[in-house]
Structure 1
Amino acid sequence: NTQHALNIASKSLNELTGYSVIEKLKEKVIQQEKEFVATRQRLASAKLAYEEAVAKRSATQREINELLQRKHQWSNDDVMKFTELYRNEHLNEKMLTEAKEELHKYEKQVEKEYTELSKSIMMRYHEEQVWSDKIRSASTYGTIALMTLNIILFICVQTIFEPRKRQKLAEKFEE
């Protein structure tokens, strides 16, 4: 029950001071960071797929070139192999184009998410600075108010209560 009361008091204080806004910004930054990391992983996968497509197409082109260099010596198997390689070349080119588009898509998405993450971090930092300045200002005014109260109490004690106390003591001694 005490813990519950402390939680409610803490939430109320956070709402009053504006810290709840910072908490929300903090959660937003954490969420965007997770999204950014996931997109970077997808980018790495897309880059790997692109590199594999490039390697596969290069290997197919190499084999086609080797066959074309000895075209005058082709056997039936070489003709079949050339036809198969040429068909594969077309598929490899299509895969390469798709992999390249995917790679560019994720590169743009990573850049966009990085920009959004940076903005969120800067916004959170700014709000924390504003909150800190507010708290510091309130603390300064609170300290000044307490000092003023102490000075007023000191003056009251010295000018009002002490003379009365002395007067009462003097009256008691006179009796």
Structure 2
Amino acid sequence: MKKKIVALLAAIAAVLGFGFASGSAMAADDYGAVGTINGTTVSFDFTGFTPGETVTITYDDTYVESVTVTPVAMQSVTATAGPTGGVHVTYTLKPGTPAGTTISATAVGETSKLQLSTSVVVPAIGEGTPSGNQDQVPQTGAAIMPYIVAVVLLAAAGIAVFAARKSSARRR
């Protein structure tokens, strides 16, 4: 009877451990500033400003040809935050912007003083050449430790349940 209780507790601990471990590996939903690039267009989304406040967007015009800001669409570096406190900025890059160039944007709220910055890197386009490390495992930077803990906990729970069932079968 004791072994069955221990096995049950081990299974519960494994399930709870798996839930807590996998939750810590997830990314946060809201970063406040997100940048994406598509061809010669770079889009930035800034959130968290006070609705209706004036937001100043700064950028380096070395590679940026034009800027469009929404919800107020105009060729300007100031915008009014929308009803949800967000501002969407679109940059059009100049022709010949080299790969590897970092395109950044900073938005500062006039009343909230909230300052958000983000950037994107212009990707290389065309045929690549193989590098010297083709037979190596790539390093992704993913956090896998929580999943390893979960697998170990589930394995321990399975072994405990199996051991409890096996020992109770021998007594009969």
Structure having greater relative contact order (Cα 8 Å, sep ≥ 6): 1
Q: Flag the structure with higher strand content.
A: 2
Whether TM exceeds 0.5 here: the answer is: no
**Which structure has the greater CA radius of gyration?**
1
Q: Flag the structure with higher helix content.
A: 1
> What TM-score do you get using the length of structure 1 for normalisation?
0.37
